[in-house]
Amino acid sequence: MEALTEFILWGWGFWLARTVIYTLLVVIGLLLTVAYLTYTERKIMGAMQRRQGPMTVGPFGLLQPIADGVKLFSKETIIPSQAHRVVFLLAPMLLFTLSLIAWVVIPFDKGWVLANLNVGILYLFAVSSMGVYGVIMAGWASNSRYAFLGGLRSASQMVSYEVSMGLIIVCVLLVAGSLNLQDIVLAPRPVWVQIMLFPMLVVFLISILAETNRAPFDLPEGESEITGGFMVEYSAMTYALFFLGEYANMILMSAMTVILFLGGWLPPFGMSFLDFVPGIIWFALKVALILFFFIWARATLPRFRYDQLMRLGWKVFLPFTLAWVVLMAGTLMTFDALPSQVRADNPIADVVGVVEGAASELEEVIENVVEKTKSNNETE
Amino acid sequence: MIVQAFAFYLFAGILLLSALMVVTARNPVHSVLFLILSFFNSAGLFVLLGAEFIAMIMVIVYVGAVAVLFLFVVMMLDISFTDLRKGAMNYVPLGVVIGSILLFELVAIYSYWQFSPSTENNLALPGGGFEGIGNAHAIGLVIYTKYVFAFQVAGLILFVAMIGAIVLTHRTRSGVRKQKIEEQQSRKASDVVEVKKITPGTGV
pLDDT tens, residue by residue, B12-55: 999 999 999 888 887 888 888 899 999 989 998 988 888 888 88
Average pLDDT, chain B: 82
pLDDT over threshold 90, residue A204: yes
Q: Is the separation of the CB atoms in B82 and B28 below 8 Å? A: no
Q: Is the pTM of this model over 0.90?
A: no
pLDDT in tens, A12-52: 777 788 888 888 888 898 888 998 999 999 999 999 998 88
Within 119-148 of B, beta carbons closer than 8 Å to A belong to 133-134, 136-137, 140-141, 144-146, 148
Question: Looking at beta carbons, which residues of chain B come within 8 Å of A138?
Answer: none
3-state SS assignment for residue A170 = helix
> Alpha helix locations (H) across B49-188?
52-58, 67-76, 81-84, 92-111, 135-143, 148-169, 181-186
Q: How confident is the model at residue A267 (pLDDT cuts 50, 70, 90)?
A: confident
Q: Where are the alpha helices (DSSP H) in chain A?
A: 2-7, 13-48, 64-74, 85-101, 120-141, 145-176, 181-186, 191-211, 223-226, 236-261, 279-300, 306-311, 318-334, 340-345, 351-379
Q: What is the pLDDT of residue A333?
A: 82
Note the pLDDT of residue A361. Answer: 63
Average the pLDDT over each of A256-265, A321-330, B76-85, B91-100 and give the range with the smallest value: B76-85
Is the N-terminal amide bond of A347 cis, ω within 30° of 0?
Answer: no
Averaged pLDDT for residues A270-291: 83
Q: Does residue A107 have a pLDDT over 70? A: yes
Which pLDDT score, from 0 to 100, does residue A9 have? 62
Q: How far is A45 from chain B (nearest CA, A)?
A: 32
Whether pLDDT at B156 is above 90: yes
Contact A132 B52 (CB under 8 A): no
> For residue A219, how many C-alpha atoms fall within 13 Å in the half-sphere facing its CB?
19
| Secondary structure letter of residue A180 according to DSSP | -
CB-nearest to A159 from B33, B53, B65 is B65
Which segment of A220-229, A235-244, A292-301 scores lowest on mean pLDDT? A220-229
B97 touches chain A (CB under 8 A): no
The predicted complex's ipTM stands at: 0.74
B contact test, residue of A130, A165, A305, A311 with most B CBs within 10 A: A130
The CATH number of B1-80 is: 1.20.120.1200
Residues A21, A25, A31: CA angle, nearest 5 degrees: 140
Q: Which residue has the higher pLDDT, B123 or A150?
A: A150
Please list every residue in chain B whose beta carbon sits closer than 8 Å to the beta carbon of residue A130.
Answer: 59, 63-64
What is the share, in percent, of chain A residues with pLDDT greater than 90? 14
Mean pLDDT of the B127-137 span: 67
Burial A295-316 (b: 16+ CB within 10 A, else e): bebbeeeebbeeeebeebbeee
Q: Give the C-alpha separation, A147 to A136, whole Å.
A: 9
Report d(CA B47, CA A10) in Å as an integer: 27
Q: How far is CA A41 from CA A288, A303, B79, B133, in A?
A: 11, 18, 45, 45
Straight-line distance from the first to the last Cα atom of chain B, in angstroms, rounded to the nearest whole number: 91
Chain B nearest-CA distance from A140, in A, is 7
Residues of A with Cβ-Cβ distance to B29 under 8 angstroms: 87, 140
C-alpha B23/C-alpha B33 separation (Å) is 12
End-to-end CA distance of chain A: 75
Q: Do B56 and A119 touch (CB under 8 A)?
A: yes
Do A119 and B137 count as a contact with CB atoms less than 8 A apart? Answer: no
- In which band, very low, low, confident or very high, does the pLDDT at A85 lie, cut at 50, 70 and 90? confident
Query: What residue in B sits closest to A91 (Cα-Cα)?
Result: B33
Q: Do B68 and A136 touch (CB under 8 A)?
A: yes
Between the alpha carbon of residue B2 and those of residues A11, A94, A364, B42, B44, the distances in Å are: 14, 29, 49, 20, 16
Judge: A126–B60 Cβ closer than 8 Å, yes or no. yes
Residue to substitute from B68, B131, B153, interface A, most A β-carbons within 10 A = B68
Cβ contact A354–B145 (<8 Å)? yes
Residue A319: per-residue pLDDT: 93
> A357–B148: do the CB atoms touch at under 8 Å?
yes
**Coil, strand or helix at A1:** coil
Q: Mean pLDDT over residues B150-167, rounded?
A: 93
| pLDDT category of residue A346 using cuts at 50, 70 and 90 | very low
Q: Would you call A155 and B133 a contact, using CB atoms and an 8 Å cutoff? A: no
Q: What is the mean pLDDT of chain A?
A: 82
pLDDT value at position A320?
Answer: 93
The single-letter code of the amino acid at A127 is: V
Residues of A in contact with B57 (CB under 8 A): 122
